[in-house]
Amino acid sequence: MEERIKVTVLFGGQSSEHEVSRVSAQCVLENIDKERFDIQTIGITKNGEWLKYDGDIKLIGTGDWEQTARKKLSEAGPSVPGSGESPIPTCMDLVSFKDNKGRSEKVDVVFPVLHGPNGEDGSVQGLLQLADVPYVGCNILASAAGMDKEFSKLVFDNAGIPQADYIKVMRGEIGGAIPFLIEKVTEKLGWPCFVKPANAGSSVGISKVKKPEDLEEALNFAAQYDAKILIEEFIEGRELECAVLGNDNPIASTVGEIVPCNDFYDYSAKYIDGKSDTIIPADIEPQIMEQIRDYAVRAFKALGCSGLSRVDFFVERKTGRVILNEINTMPGFTSISMYSKLWEASGIPYSELITRLIDLAFEKHEQAMRSYERK
């Protein structure tokens, strides 16, 4: 019988998307092929503790997993002097795996189901690369650049992909610059506009600003989540998304449309209200669908992505012009998330998708090792 692959699923994290990560991880664990993979789970609490968890999967999504993990940790008792082992886990537990007899082995691959800063931004990817462990998703550079909306815009602009215009503002500039910024927005972008943190996801910290007197409040709100803020041109258009899968030769899924229940697809519309609609495949002209799929793959390659990404677009209602909004290098895996739903509509069920992502992680790791002088 073929030996099963040892997988660590990492979830939670120290970001505003902690809750989304937990729900994503629960869905991954419910759908992963347990005949092929041995699985261990490690949760990162909001204050940065790493806790192993082997309880009920459903408690991960609710957040109750943490109490169970802490109880088991306390029952393990203090470490034994000289044993080299401690019941208090660290990030090094990420790259070790205990079999059913308690023997420690090196994990084969890590699936970091982490969204936002301190997880999707290259930080965990750097740890795994140093530990020489294959992992699902993009490498350090692509993860970091994809997390930063300004840097990804610079890359996509160089690749010739149309985007919304924007103005960059640093947190320390807000106080004395409001009159100047109002004038600049009026001249360059117009009203309404969007204000968003440069490094955040799940629409956290984003505001739609309809009039100049509301700009300062929106900037201060975004500044709670990042020191760099973007004021972005408003695009009157439909919101469409495309999933990308692969390494050197990525493929694009069909295209789906988001019909938000709120003024725009904010955090509440995504995860709380539950009233937003998704249409898969989107009811758009074939040439627009192919343009979106082409831009999605071009964006993936331009940023140097690997494994997976979801690329979000606007299609202008008046002109039909396709405009790239942003890329997500570790998109959500919840039951309502578009990445898995788009691939399911394209012929790849959830369980198979997870297996493909793990296979791509091994492929990427093997290619990377050919680039290092390791002996």
Q: How do the domains of the chain map onto residue ranges?
A: 5-135, 147-161+236-368, 166-233
- The pLDDT value given to residue 102: 64
Q: pLDDT class for 80, splitting at 50, 70, 90?
A: very low
- The pLDDT value given to residue 79: 47
- The pLDDT value given to residue 84: 45
Domain formed by 147-161+236-368, architecture: 2-Layer Sandwich (3.30)
- The pLDDT value given to residue 98: 66
- Residue range 201-216: mean pLDDT, rounded: 89
- Are residues 272 and 251 in contact, defined by beta-carbon separation less than 8 angstroms? no
Q: Is the pLDDT of residue 147 over 70?
A: yes
> Does 83 or 27 have the greater pLDDT score?
27
β-strands 237-246, 307-316: how paired?
A: antiparallel
- The pLDDT value given to residue 105: 76
In CATH terms, the fold of domain 166-233 is Dna Ligase; domain 1 (3.30.1490)
Q: Which of 118-127, 266-275, 287-296 has the lowest mean pLDDT?
A: 266-275
Q: Is the pLDDT of residue 87 over 90?
A: no
| 146: its two tokens | 């994809």
* Separation between Cα atoms, residue 117 and residue 223, nearest integer Å: 14
pLDDT in tens, 294-343: 999 999 999 999 999 999 999 999 999 999 999 999 999 988 899 999 99
If you classify domain 5-135 with CATH, what class do you get? alpha beta
pLDDT in tens, 210-254: 999 999 999 999 999 999 999 999 999 999 999 999 999 999 999
Number of H helices, E strands in the chain: 12, 15
- Residue range 332-355: mean pLDDT, rounded: 95
- The pLDDT value given to residue 369: 82
Rounded mean pLDDT of the chain?
89
Residue 68: partners with Cβ closer than 8 Å, 6 or more residues away? 53, 55, 56, 59
Q: Which of 102-116, 270-284, 305-319, 355-369 has the lowest mean pLDDT?
A: 270-284
- Residue range 285-302: mean pLDDT, rounded: 98
pTM value is: 0.89
pLDDT in tens, 47-78: 988 898 999 999 999 999 999 998 887 776 65
Question: Is there a shared CATH topology between the 147-161+236-368 domain and the 166-233 domain?
Answer: no
Q: Is the pLDDT of residue 273 over 50?
A: no
Count of residues for the chain? 375
- The pLDDT value given to residue 83: 41
> Does 352 or 73 have the greater pLDDT score?
352
* Separation between Cα atoms, residue 279 and residue 219, nearest integer Å: 33
According to DSSP, the residues that pair with 110 across neighbouring strands are 8, 135
According to DSSP, the residues that pair with 245 across neighbouring strands are 251, 308
